[in-house]
Amino acid sequence: MKIIQTLCCVVLACSAWAQQPTYMPLDHNNVSCLLDDEGGFFNNLQSGLAGYEIPKNSGLSTIFSGSYWMGAQDVNGTLYVSAAKYSAGGSWSAFHGGPISTTQAYNTLAYSNEYQDAIWKVSKAEILAHQANAQNLGYVVPAAIANWPANGDVSLGIAAQLAPFIDLNGNGLYEPSQGDYPDIRGDEAVYVITNDESYQPDGNQLGIEVHAMFYQFQTANYLNNTTFLTLRVYNRSNRTYYNFHEGLYLDFDLGNYSDDHVGCDPYNRLLYAYNGDDFDESDGGQIGYGANPPCQGVLCLSHPLESAGILTGSMDAGMNTSFDTTAWLLMNGQNSDSSYWMNPLTNTATQFLYDGNPNLPNTWSEVSSNNSPGDRRGMLCISEALFPQNSTVCSDYAFVYDRSGDRLNNVQQVINISGALLNSYQSGGNYPCLATAFNDLTDESLLPNQLVVHPNPSHGKIHLTWNNIQAEHLEIRTMQGALVYAESIENMSATDIDISELPRGIYFIQIGTHMQRVILD
């Protein structure tokens, strides 16, 4: 039983060291997720329950837990790794709440008063009300805005500039009573500051400060099922790093944890989990999604992927004794015995495990490999060749979800959503890593392209709608790629088609670079 195993881990972790994470929920759209200030996210180690619930208040969840893996080498090739794994036998975390103190003031009352709970939440509505009222006589700044961790106390060796804010008078000081306000993205955001220096389980930490902003939009489209993450990593050590790797380690549990599959799509920078069979049963500890289980993915908007894939038990066999080395090897596409990951179709080394589409039979997926469904964990990783001291690496991610059809349709939809978000990002959408100030307090700049097919499965009559897609033709192809239908769609945004004469089966509808899978039955 998953839950009991995890509770044992929590007891071990707590007895090994007394750090207590502070938890904060983010639940402003159809997702309710739990965040903490010890390098973890989407989990609750104290209760042993999954922490990424979707739909909100359903008791159903797609991710059990997540954590950061950061690693790099110095000029001599020495390895530095700060990586957390929730079940790594008593030292599950490599991060502790709060910013780096260059004077090692971590145990002072001033530091612990400020950063005992190194996690903050503020909403767009609170900021708008603050903007409207800040100049009024007798106005009291609300706590969520007053407590924003914008400036660090330099007398404690903390950086002067921490969380981003709109600085109306440009003096570098956060003065909410003068109208300054937090620079967030989304309708609500949770901001977390952690470092890998104040807690050192093994002494080869990087000396980095990690700023994580998780944010959500409340919308009528798929963004309502999306959580965004911006990570800003500050190198506050006295070393220049090479081959910096940043990984997100995710224990997907798609409802019932024991019947899942995982795959990746390097082109769309995506790692995703889907159910390994058509029905997600409940088990004693976790409600299952039942029929038509969803697909849950995570993609990196800012960076191409360095590696991604499913992590099997044999890969992390060495984790409890040499976890840092194993995490580093995995981020580099190697097993814990240093052998390289292999693609069985090409018989060559690969950084991407199961990089095929499970809808396409001649690609490498857990479906085409006839794998037995089971408990799955995955990792996706990006890299920067150079990470000098006093510099920052910024990365934008999105956690995307779909449950509009059967389990494999949902995989295709998650791939399509990822493609739409990447298009939006690469055409200069309003994302934190792309801008010095990103709080324009409107959502209109975030309107990704979409192609919607209804109904699906279909008996032949299909209604299609799309927006922001520039293309001259709509095409329908078989799974083998044969063209069976084409239509000119210039200056259109919707059409009705009838393919009831075609043989029953799976088809792909394509407009420009956007593709949807439709089942004809």
Site membership for Ca ion, residue 286 (CB under 5 A): no
In the bound state with Ca ion, the residue whose beta carbon lies nearer, of 133 and 178, is 178
| C-alpha count within 13 angstroms, C-beta hemisphere, residue 492 | 15
Work out the burial of residue 370: count CB atoms within 10 Å of its CB; fewer than 13 is exposed, 13-18 middle, 19 or more buried.
Answer: exposed
Q: Which is nearer to Ca ion, 273 or 446 (CB)?
A: 273
Is residue 187 part of the contact set for Ca ion (CB under 5 A)? no
Q: Per rule CB under 5 A, is residue 183 in the interface with Ca ion? A: no
| Contact of 251 with 295, CB cutoff 8 Å | no
Question: Which of the residues 217 through 246 are near Ca ion (CB under 5 A)?
Answer: none
Identify residue 74 by its one-letter amino acid code: D
Q: Determine which residue in the list 205, 227, 256, 268 makes contact with Ca ion, applying CB under 5 A.
A: 256
| Nearest CB to Ca ion, comparing residues 249 and 438 | 249
The residue number whose beta carbon is nearest to Ca ion equals 259
Indicate whether 32 belongs to the interface with Ca ion (CB under 5 A).
Answer: no
Least separation, in Å, of the C-beta of 376 and Ca ion?
5
Which of these ranges, 73-81, 93-101, 280-288, 462-470, lies near Ca ion under the rule CB under 5 A? 280-288
Rounded Cα gap, residues 276 and 517, in angstroms: 19
User: Using the rule CB under 5 A, which residue among 162, 193, 231, 254 binds Ca ion?
Assistant: 254
255, 358, 419, 448: residue in contact with Ca ion (rule CB under 5 A): 255
By CB under 5 A, the residues from 366 to 385 that bind Ca ion are 375-376
One-letter identity of residue 215: Y
- 251 is a contact residue toward Ca ion (CB under 5 A): yes
**Exposed, middle or buried: residue 109 (CB in 10 Å: 0-12, 13-18, 19+)?**
exposed
Min dist CB 151 to Ca ion, Å, is 9
Shortest approach of Ca ion to residue 275 CB, angstroms? 5
Q: Is 496 exposed, middle or buried (0-12, 13-18, 19+ CB in 10 A)?
A: exposed
Cβ proximity to Ca ion, 252 vs 425, nearer residue = 252
Residues in 144-173 that interact with Ca ion by CB under 5 A:
167, 169, 171, 173
Q: Which two tokens stand for residue 178?
A: 């003068």
Where does 150-187 show beta strands of DSSP type E?
A: 165-166, 181-182
To Ca ion, the closest distance from the beta carbon of 322 in angstroms equals 23
Contact 68, 246 (CB under 8 A): yes
Summarize as ranges the residues that interact with Ca ion (CB under 5 A): 167, 169, 171, 173, 175, 180, 251, 253-257, 259-260, 275, 277, 279-280, 375-376
